[in-house]
Amino acid sequence: MSSKTMWILGYTATAIMLIALLATAQGVSANPQQAATAEVKIDNFSFGPATLTVAPGTTVTWVNRDDIPHTVVSTDDPKTFKSKVLDTDEKFSFTFTKPGTYSYFCSIHPKMTATVVVK
């Protein structure tokens, strides 16, 4: 092979390696967005915070920190979300996909109320 052919092959191989390296680096540095999360604490016969504002796509998790059972039930009909009875340290999660105001309560203790605002 001539030196010109060798030079072209070497240059082409180097260019291919650089392209592959750049493509790999882009894939590694790409930062996938994590889903948003929020937490509501159930304690002392109340939901905290009483009003929680989140973006669409946020998963809200309620955690029962009280020493008695509670539920998390939406007030709309049909129910948007409804937990089982949550004992101490048990959790319930729901992902809010649509903007709106979602009121909820504890079906065992109906005076316990709160709201999630999605906007």
In CATH, what number is assigned to the domain containing residue 57? 2.60.40.420
Judgement on whether residues 9 and 42 belong to the same structural domain of the protein: no
Reference 114, options 46, 54, 67; nearest CA is: 46
Judgement on whether residues 55 and 111 belong to the same structural domain of the protein: yes
Judgement on whether residues 8 and 51 belong to the same structural domain of the protein: no
The two structure tokens encoding residue 83: 């937990």
When pLDDT is cut at 50, 70 and 90, the band that residue 89 belongs to is very high
pTM given for the model: 0.72
When pLDDT is cut at 50, 70 and 90, the band that residue 107 belongs to is very high
Note the pLDDT tens digit of each residue in 19-45. Answer: 544 444 444 434 445 679 999 999 999
Judgement on whether residues 47 and 99 belong to the same structural domain of the protein: yes
Phi-psi label, residue 10: left if phi above 0, alpha if psi -120 to 50, beta otherwise: alpha
62, pLDDT greater than 90: yes
Give the pLDDT confidence score for residue 22 in this predicted structure.
45
Judgement on whether residues 65 and 114 belong to the same structural domain of the protein: yes
Judgement on whether residues 44 and 77 belong to the same structural domain of the protein: yes
Residue that the structure tokens 């009909």 belong to = 77
DSSP 82: B
How long a stretch of residues is the chain?
Answer: 119
Judgement on whether residues 25 and 64 belong to the same structural domain of the protein: no
Type and span of the H or E element at 39: strand 37-43
Domain region containing 10 = 1-32
Reference 84, options 104, 107, 56; nearest CA is: 107
Give the pLDDT confidence score for residue 35 in this predicted structure.
77
Q: How many domains are there within the chain?
A: 2
Q: How far apart are CA 31 and CA 26, in angstroms?
A: 10
Average pLDDT score, the chain = 84
Q: 3-class DSSP state for residue 76?
A: coil
Judgement on whether residues 55 and 102 belong to the same structural domain of the protein: yes
Residue that the structure tokens 């082409």 belong to = 12
